[in-house]
Amino acid sequence: MSDQESCGLPLCVDLDGTLLRTDLTAESLLALGKHNPLGLFGLMPSLRRGKAAFKLALADQVSCDPSRLPYNCDVLAMLQVARAEGRRTVLVSASPRSWVDAVARHLDLFDDVLATDDVFTNLSGFAKAEGLVRRYGEQGFDYAGNARIDLHVWRCARKAIVVTPDHGVLACAKSQADVDTVFDDRPPRLWTWLKAMRLYQWAKNLLVFVPLLGAHAWANTAAVTQVCLAFLIFGLAASSVYLLNDLLDLDEDRRHPRKRLRPFASGMLPVAHGVVATLLLLASAVLLAGLLSPGFRAALATYYAVTLAYSFYLKKLVLIDILVLAGLYTVRLIAGGAAVNLGLSFWLLAFSVFLFMSLALVKRYTELLVQRDAGALTACGRGYHVDDFPLLQSMGVVSGYMSVLVLALYINSDTGRVLYSHIEFIWFLCLLLLFWISRVWLLAHRGQMHDDPLVFALKDRSSRAIALIAVVAVGLAL
């Protein structure tokens, strides 16, 4: 790229998927669907006039904030080297000119910009190749792209720069063009998808086993099989929700010190693929749910509907968001009972409400601490101010201790004495839970807690030891 022959040739760079690790059209459609769903229907008439008209109509409704977009650092470095060598750099894209101009102004690395404009020319594929040849001549430029449609341009370019190519694109590019450089720093795709699906969060779905264990029905093979299926179904549904939530929260996640590294926010996974995966996971969960009871299907539908409401709106409401998070844990308990036609006791419901309320408050509290340390006054996408965290801490500690109180009262109840021969051993659970809740909040106060207490519990050696001792205590109580 730095030889003497190339110094006089323009370096032309595609925007979506090349300079950016994302696609602006796909992101803008998601943003419009989140903030103004009816606006999507308003775009339908423009489709009859072609892709260019559709993109321009979309750009009229959704603006582009270039400061929050995920850029490819290798491409930025290549552009800086080209500018230092005195080469002309050109940003060329099928995205609307208003978006492309905004990116070009933000980076200040381009001498010229070519984009889809009001003439309704969709500057993609053959149209892009034709435009570049008309301006710079056949073999008169180098071109950096990523997609199969860029093959039209690479055939006309002197050198091809292939950036994070789609499947099979690199092989086609090598057979049809002179590939000079390949940039691809993506981790293995399977690992990235598993990370996006947050399989570690499936541990929350172990709550569906609690009603079965609480009823001491673990010897019932049919019931255990049904609960295992319920666990899988909730896992698929939960992953669908996590993908959707990440897609809807792209802007907020990119403002967060840690969440900006999530697969969609960082551009490691295409948002369009995320939409498809969300639908496939949900469809799989719905089909499998048909094998279980109507009560379970109702619980699953409630879980998904409330989670969607949380993603779109409820998470912005102060305290309501915390109650919803706590309630979603409890829905898992209800679903586990419904899967095997077991009712939940008052004691289990009361205990779970207070405990999960405390965990939800831990999550929100740690997020506020992160925002405070970053110098922000409010939590991104939330209704809290950073100076609310002392109050959240007080509510969380009290709620956690209330769950211990409920457990202590249960030990002295007739219900508990019927199920356990030596219920006095359950007192160890009170002490263990009291210690664990106190430790969680102490670490959260010190800023040493992950923003998800479940992740902390899975990784924390002390938490695992407490869980083991608790199992032993329950075994002795039986």
Q: Residue 308 has what pLDDT?
A: 87
Terminal-to-terminal C-alpha distance of the chain: 74
> CA–CA separation, 440 vs 378, rounded Å?
24
User: What's the pTM value of the predicted model, to 2 decimals?
Assistant: 0.82
With tokens 């003497």, the residue in question is: 4
Per-residue pLDDT of the chain (478 residues; tens, 9 = 90+): 445 455 579 999 999 999 999 999 999 999 998 888 888 888 888 888 888 888 888 998 998 899 999 999 999 999 999 999 999 999 999 999 999 999 999 999 999 999 988 665 778 888 899 999 999 999 999 999 999 999 999 999 999 999 999 888 999 999 999 999 999 988 888 899 999 999 888 988 989 998 888 777 777 888 899 999 999 999 999 999 999 989 988 888 888 777 889 999 999 999 999 999 999 999 999 999 999 999 999 999 999 999 988 877 888 888 898 999 899 999 999 999 999 888 788 888 899 999 999 999 998 888 888 777 766 656 555 677 877 878 999 999 999 999 999 999 988 887 777 777 888 888 889 999 999 999 999 999 988 886 678 778 878 899 999 989 988 988 888 7
> CA–CA separation, 65 vs 20, rounded Å?
13
> CA–CA separation, 369 vs 376, rounded Å?
10
> CA–CA separation, 142 vs 405, rounded Å?
71
Domains located in the chain, CATH noted:
4-183 (3.40.50.1000), 190-344 (1.10.357.140), 357-478 (no CATH)
| Cβ within 8 Å of residue 194, ≥6 positions away | none
Give the burial class of 127: count Cβ atoms within 10 A of its Cβ; 0-12 exposed, 13-18 middle, 19 or more buried. Answer: middle
> CA–CA separation, 115 vs 254, rounded Å?
26
> CA–CA separation, 410 vs 407, rounded Å?
5
Give the burial class of 180: count Cβ atoms within 10 A of its Cβ; 0-12 exposed, 13-18 middle, 19 or more buried. Answer: middle
User: How many Å separate Cα 414 from the centre of its chain?
Assistant: 45
Q: Are 114 and 141 in contact (CB under 8 A)?
A: no
